[in-house]
Amino acid sequence: MMTTIKIPYGKTFMEANVAEERIEAVLESSAHHYRPEAAEAELVKQSLEHPVGSRRLRDLAKGCHKIVIIASDHTRPVPTKIMAPQMLAEIRSTNPEADITFLIATGFHRASTQQELLDKFGDDIMKNEKIVVHNCWDKDNLVDIGKLPSGGALVINKLAMEADLLISEGFIEPHLFAGFSGGRKSILPGIVSGVTVMANHCAKFIAHEKARVGILDGNPIHIDMLYAAQQAKLAFILNVVIDADKRIIKAFAGDREQAHIAGCKFVSGLAKVAAKPADIVITSNGGYPLDQNIYQLVKGLSSAEATCKPGGVIIICAACNDGHGGDTFYKWFQEAPGGAMEIMDKIMKIPSESTIPDQWAAQIIARVLLKHTVILVTDQCDHQIAKTIGMKTAYTLEAALKTAGQIAGSHSKITVIPDGVAVIV
């Protein structure tokens, strides 16, 4: 008996037929089957009307002149078209003259294009609201406000620090080293200097046993992030939880910490799945927008790593139409003839204060490659890029499975994680 494996890929899917007896398990977040209590817009409305640990946004906005709303960038599937209009309406219900600016939290990513912003916000907001894209290297628009608990410099967007009221939108999902996304991540790495991101993403922290998916307590990366949000005076957040179709299934608004923790508990209850070790693991980055480049694949790879047997094969389906995702990231692999071991040796010797841009992604990919063979399935990316990084490649999932079978055995068991970003294995 054959069964069809269907894996998110770009805005479509990759499929392959596999003998049913070879499937060890299919690991999915219950979020993908969760039935929300109301429609998307209503869920957002209810959260804004009943914030966690905070007064309503409309009350916080009274008397404020400059209001900054931090919004996620093009790499995050946040349904801003549903969230932003309600935030604006809530603010203007008590403060119609407020000077409101959307600040795009690009973190260490490239700037969002005008088309990407239009896709995110829609025509009305693009035409009528102020939108500023954060640049983590633009010193003229950054201000130093002290030190992180880790000792790194806390340098943040000046526009945010000058706001009378700083709020943010985002979404909560498992995160491979911050525990969970959302909340305080809008500040760090969202709108801080590249110097601050690098201090927080140092080799020591990335290797820390608590810097793992689903863990907040004792996580040094989270501790830094939370402190940055406190110092920035992030006053209110609106974070949503989404399913596989990128639809809102729950919304949490209110205090930057209390609302975020409530959301993380909800996500954890849905996303935790027991590992089912297998010689072959098939996964993805959940499709668009998180599978646009290889840099982002550390997320899906980390989930697969947690259930792949030592020496096993990880197959990851991802469009990677943007290529490697960053010259500084790719350079690690271009300049390492010794491969993953050489990269890991170099990175672990770098002091925290000397962190190099994007070394954290190279560190995690090297960690995975030292234990597993990785096959990238894509028909939208130059395969030579993936090969330089140390991955094998295939144009189809069926071809990848054939290669995996040659390595691990043609009858080896397979664990499938359709959306590697959505689970805590």
| 250, two tokens | 């729950």
Q: Are 320 and 293 in contact (CB under 8 A)?
A: yes
- Give backbone dihedrals phi and psi of 32, rounded to 5 degrees, phi first: -70, -15
Q: Are 391 and 376 in contact (CB under 8 A)?
A: yes
* DSSP character string of 325-336: S-HHHHHHHHT-
Give the span between the Cα atoms of 405 and 64, in whole angstroms.
62
Give the span between the Cα atoms of 68 and 229, in whole angstroms.
14
Q: Are 102 and 94 in contact (CB under 8 A)?
A: no
Residue the block writes with tokens 């954890």 = 268
Q: Are 104 and 134 in contact (CB under 8 A)?
A: yes
| 40, two tokens | 């998307």
Give the span between the Cα atoms of 347 and 169, in whole angstroms.
33
Q: Are 96 and 64 in contact (CB under 8 A)?
A: no
Give the span between the Cα atoms of 87 and 138, in whole angstroms.
28
| 7, two tokens | 């894996």
* DSSP character string of 300-314: HHHHHHTTEEEEEEE
Computed over its alpha carbons, how large is the radius of gyration of the chain? Answer: 21
SS3 content of the chain, % helix, strand, coil (to 5): 40, 25, 35
Nearest of 159, 129, 122, 166 to residue 143 by alpha carbon: 159
Could you list the active site residues?
A: 109, 175
DSSP 419: -
